């Protein structure tokens, strides 16, 4: 006799539907993506160590330079054009003598190509190769001009980064509460550009939404949660010198209308005479009178007279 089919027939296992496969695949891909992002975040980004980077007052200006920074003769050089753009927009070279004249708030410096001397406010210093030519361009050793431009200069060999910090600008240090990673951007997912060990200091620049913009001792600028920082120390505040209004009794009037100011040397002779007259007459303010047509030589005189007198505490009305 034929056996009757059992009423309780086992159901066959159902195969996963296409939807289930898609869900599983999506979860797997998502996990792989998260792992990749975490790995990228924790892998320090490879920086460009071939070309010297330059940080000026906590801003990386490298991409704005016309010419690359040079490291030669144990010195750091910036092209004449870039010095003019970023350090002294009045820097000038006399055609006849080849003399470079650069000024800052209280300093005026002069030097020539192939000359081992640099003159700062009339005082000679022995420094070789302040001014060189490379690839048909003129370069100036900015590492030798700290005293002229009143900045701290540092070349960090490990990261091939130059830092320049003006001494009249705010400078704040902070310390790492624990080992921290410095992110390249202020974003949730951003690559790591540097690491700072617990207890080490870094420069605090600014903050936004509890995220601090910082600069490490390697000269690298990035971002970190401000809660990771402690013991903020202001080493320098922003400094702005106020111009004091002078009374008539304190002012020495000096007429240069008939003076020969056609060259730097002649202008310096007149400036020294003005300085001597101010000191002799105990005047802390000088008013320059010029009744001739305004020309290039007079514009240069205005640039060059101020730092010399200001260094001696004398203000100039010109």
Closest CA to 259 of 217, 295, 311: 295
Confidence at residue 13, expressed as pLDDT on a 0 to 100 scale: 54
- More confident position, 23 or 146: 146
pLDDT in tens, 113-143: 988 999 999 999 999 999 999 989 999 999 9
| Sequential DSSP letters for 40-71 | HHHSBPPP--SSPEEEETTEE-GGG-SS--EE
* Each residue's pLDDT tens digit, 248-263: 668 999 999 999 999 9
Between 156 and 248, the more confident residue is 156
* Helix residue ranges, H only, 122-253: 146-149
For 163-199, how does the pLDDT look when each residue is reduced to its tens digit (9 = 90+)?
Answer: 999 999 999 999 999 999 999 999 888 899 999 999 9
Strand partners, 70: 77
Distance CA(301)–CA(187), nearest Å, equals: 50
For the chain, domain boundaries:
53-153, 171-234, 248-317
Superfamily of domain 53-153: Copper amine oxidase-like, N-terminal domain (3.30.457.10)
Residue whose structure tokens are 């304190």: 250
pTM above 0.85, yes or no: no
User: What is the pLDDT confidence band of residue 43, given thresholds at 50, 70 and 90?
Assistant: low
> What is the Cα–Cα distance from 255 to 14, expressed in whole angstroms?
106
Domains 53-153 and 171-234 share a fold: no
Is pLDDT at 89 greater than 90 in this prediction? yes
Task: Find out if CATH 1.10.287.3510 is the number for domain 171-234.
Answer: no
Report the chain's mean pLDDT, rounded to a whole number. Answer: 89
Tell me the mean pLDDT in the region 101-113: 96
């Amino acid at each position: 006799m034929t056996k009757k089919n059992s009423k309780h027939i086992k159901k066959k296992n159902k195969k996963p539907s296409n939807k289930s496969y898609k869900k599983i695949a999506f979860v797997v891909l998502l996990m792989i993506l998260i792992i990749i992002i975490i790995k990228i975040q924790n892998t320090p980004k490879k920086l460009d160590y071939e070309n010297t980077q330059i940080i000026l007052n906590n801003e990386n200006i490298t991409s704005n330079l016309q010419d690359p920074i040079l490291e030669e003769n144990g010195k750091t050089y910036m092209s004449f054009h870039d010095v003019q753009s970023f350090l002294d927009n009045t820097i000038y070279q006399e055609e006849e003598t080849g003399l470079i004249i650069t000024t800052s708030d209280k300093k005026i410096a002069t030097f020539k190509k192939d000359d081992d001397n640099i003159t700062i406010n009339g005082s000679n210093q022995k420094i070789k190769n302040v001014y060189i030519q490379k690839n048909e361009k003129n370069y100036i050793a900015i590492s030798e001009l700290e005293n002229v431009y009143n900045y701290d200069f540092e070349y960090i060999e490990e990261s091939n980064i130059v830092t320049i910090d003006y001494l009249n600008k705010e400078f704040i240090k902070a310390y790492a509460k624990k080992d921290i990673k410095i992110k390249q951007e202020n974003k949730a997912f951003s690559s790591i550009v540097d690491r700072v060990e617990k207890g080490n200091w870094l420069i605090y620049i600014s903050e936004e939404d509890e995220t601090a913009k910082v600069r490490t001792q390697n000269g690298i600028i990035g971002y970190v949660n401000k809660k990771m920082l402690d013991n903020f120390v202001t080493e320098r505040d922003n400094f702005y010198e106020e111009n004091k209004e002078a009374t008539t009794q304190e002012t020495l009037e000096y007429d240069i209308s008939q003076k020969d100011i056609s060259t730097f040397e002649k202008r310096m002779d007149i400036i020294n005479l003005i300085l001597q007259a101010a000191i002799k007459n105990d005047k802390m303010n000088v008013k320059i009178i010029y009744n001739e047509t305004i020309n290039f030589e007079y514009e240069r005189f205005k640039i060059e007279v101020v730092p010399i007198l200001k260094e001696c505490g004398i203000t100039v009305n010109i």
